[in-house]
Structure 1
Amino acid sequence: MKKLDLIATSAMGLESIVAKEVRDLGYECTVENGRIAFKGDELAIARSNLWLRTADRIKIKVGEFRATSFDELFEKTKALPWEDLLPEDAEFPVSGKSVKSKLFSVSDCQAIVKKAIVSRLQKAYKRTSWLEENGPTFKIEVALLKDIATITIDTSGAGLHKRGYRVDQGEAPLKETLAAALVLLTNWSADKPFIDPFCGSGTIPIEAALIGQNIAPGFNREFISEQWPFIPGTVWDQARNEAEDLARYDQPLMITGSDIDHRMVKIAEENAFEAGLGDLISFKQMRVQDLTVKQDYGVIVGNPPYGERLGDKPAVEKMYREMGQVFSELDTWSIYILTSHPDFETLYGRPATKKRKLFNGFIRTDLYQYWGKRPPRVQ
């Protein structure tokens, strides 16, 4: 099959990390706001769904063109080779969005794209009647931005952050994709100790363990495109066998997650067991102020409470001060803290080595990075 135009969608601020992951899979890519474009065949669809830890979903770009009238949208959509991708019985709901475009009625754009695809498929499959739509599902989206229409098909189904291991969660769980990004933004490697002192439902330690043992994050879930006729089942088998061969299940890990709430510690343990990593991560109930470490040259990654609700602010600020005092002793450790609190560095007691803007859902946050001493060179 000829190469398809693929798009890995991304949360704002994570584009460069997703792009590195795409390149690590062996695909050249270009980076735009919220999307990473690359070319690939059916195997690329399977691989990128299985392996991309920080992308939101993988889409096929069927076409991109200028459209300032409904006639233009209809004709240019109809001109695309839909029969190459959609079988005669395909179910294909159409969603849409429009930003700064003359065609601002999303429901009309959806209806026109749907009608154009039906017209193309009826001609391709020599049908005069309406199509049945009782076969595999192809979720199509028409997105208009400044009069440019981009028409895509989602290959993932549920978002890629849904790894399948989350049995339960707390009030404000960190998305698995962002948790993986936080780990990838550190200097951590599997031979170093790793601590998350605010582990909540365990997402950061679990993602660290998946990275440490090189386990594909999508290995234990299904994707909508597995049902599509143009991607043979053998392709998915090949991609999963590759992932199995690349996993390092015998890699020992030193990963700890702690939380002040004993209920969250229990949930974290359950989630880790669901991910098949229960024996690899140790969870314990503990205040961050009581943290002690025995090893050197480790990494701490934390997503503490931000104090967004007014009543919580004084307690959170007190905790940031105490955390700064405890962590100041760990001069060989690298520490990475995600928070939206604008005065974090002042409260913590020292300026960060580096700051990186990230979005936790719709909350603008900064990742404060404190780099520890380098380990001595082995002679």
Structure 2
Amino acid sequence: MQNYQLTAPCHFGLEAVCKREIYDLGYEITKVEDGRVTFAADAEGICRANIFLRTAERVLLEVGRFRATTFDELFEGIKALPWENYIPKDGKFWVTKATSIKSKLFSPSDIQSIVKKAMVERMKREYDLTWFPEDGASYPVRIFLMKDEVTVTIDTTGESLHKRGYRKMTSKAPITETLAAALIMLTPWHADRILVDPFCGSGTFPIEAAMMAANIAPGLNREFISEEWTNLIPKQLWYDVIEEANDMVHTDIKVDIQGYDIDADVVKAARENAKRAGVDHLIHFQQRAVADMHHPKKYGFIISNPPYGERLEEKENLPELYRQIGEMYRGLDAWSMYLITSYEQAQQYIGRKADKNRKIYNGMLKTYFYQFLGPKPPKRRNNEESH
């Protein structure tokens, strides 16, 4: 089976998490750039990456790379690529996105228009056609220019991978599913440890954690644009990978995952989302203020996305809110706390400096992932571990 170069875009600052996921799937990493991990895989790898990757935004199939500093060079570079190997004569193709960073060619609309023209020229020659019906499967093209190097890809995913299909209802300022999964993976949390999100909103952190605990592949209940690419990916491969994913699910596990929010409507929405994800029986959701949160057990985890105060009227409440977070945390015995927030004075009002602090871009917003580390639980005896 033919091998391809596939690229998984991910959040800036979380490339290492995405890289580990791809490596764990069994694929060879060929390049890591800012917000992108490239790896080698076959057609089955396209299916597996889309269905199993929790932290990637999409899976892109690389058609080629070349340098271009003029629109003529761009046109000739695109025309030289073997488009007929990827897009059939009835394929629907368009340039869905062009991104340019530190490059001489910087107008996305001009880049998109020239790329499409060059693709048509190439395919006219190869297919001996003067007109393309474009009534078959869709092949959306994405172009990236970085320091005048052009990377040409076709998107195998369609709707971004953060759209797992479970989140119909969202709270204000929700965190994406892919970012939530990546942040959980940055912590040492495992399914046998308590996890609480005191600002659960639409439930993304608890739901992603429960899906990990139950080994539910994030792409199991959605569709991908490349499912229609029968010229490149036999339908049977999709069925095989879905069967592989279904065989790995174990929803009868025992976990202690909790989500709280002060807004009753938001808690109700979170329950609905968890139900759609198939993990509502694994999460306890409750309306509760952060000041009222307590837990009798030790060695738990708080992983949360507290309010940032992006609106002016909310900013006034932030010092008191983060003071309450600090008090709540001090009342817990030997817990660890992980918070993502853009609030610069978070540590000051929590009343403790984070043990680790990681800068992460949430879209265009610079945020910090503050990590307050509690002690590790004592090692269990061997018979308990085997149990």
TM-score w.r.t. the length of structure 1 is: 0.96
Partner of 1:19: 19
The within-5 A match list for 1:1-379 is 1-29=1-29, 30-94=31-95, 95-127=97-129, 129-229=130-230, 230-379=232-381
Q: How far off is 1:168 after superposition?
A: 0.9
3-state secondary structure, aligned to 1:61: strand
| Compared CA separation, residues 110 and 309, structure 1 to 2 (3 A) | closer
| 2: CA distance, partners of 1:104 / 1:308 | 31
Q: How far off is 1:54 after superposition?
A: 1.0
**Contact (CA 8 Å) 1:331, 1:373: kept in 2 or not?**
no
3-state secondary structure, aligned to 1:143: strand
Q: How far off is 1:372 after superposition?
A: 1.3
| 1: CA distance, partners of 2:204 / 2:159 | 18
**How many pairs are equivalent?**
378
| 1: CA distance, partners of 2:146 / 2:271 | 44
**Contact (CA 8 Å) 2:2, 2:43: kept in 1 or not?**
no
Letter of the 1:169 counterpart:
T
Letter of the 1:14 counterpart:
L
| 2: CA distance, partners of 1:98 / 1:186 | 34
3-state secondary structure, aligned to 1:80: coil
Q: How far off is 1:362 after superposition?
A: 2.1
- For 1:254-313, what per-residue CA distance to the aligned partner results, in whole angstroms no more than 9, with x for missing partners? 111000011100110111111111111110000111111122221111111122333222
- For 1:150-187, what per-residue CA distance to the aligned partner results, in whole angstroms no more than 9, with x for missing partners? 11101110001000001211121111111111211111
| 1: CA distance, partners of 2:332 / 2:285 | 21
Structure 1 unmatched ranges of 5 or more: none
| Compared CA separation, residues 119 and 186, structure 1 to 2 (3 A) | same
| 2: CA distance, partners of 1:219 / 1:358 | 27
| 2: CA distance, partners of 1:318 / 1:70 | 55
CA RMSD of aligned residues (A): 1.4
Stretch of structure 1 that moved more, 49-58 or 90-99? 90-99
**Contact (CA 8 Å) 1:205, 1:255: kept in 2 or not?**
yes
Stretch of structure 1 that moved more, 312-321 or 13-22? 312-321
Q: How far off is 1:104 after superposition?
A: 3.3
| Compared CA separation, residues 362 and 111, structure 1 to 2 (3 A) | closer
Q: How far off is 1:38 after superposition?
A: 0.5
**Contact (CA 8 Å) 1:162, 1:176: kept in 2 or not?**
yes
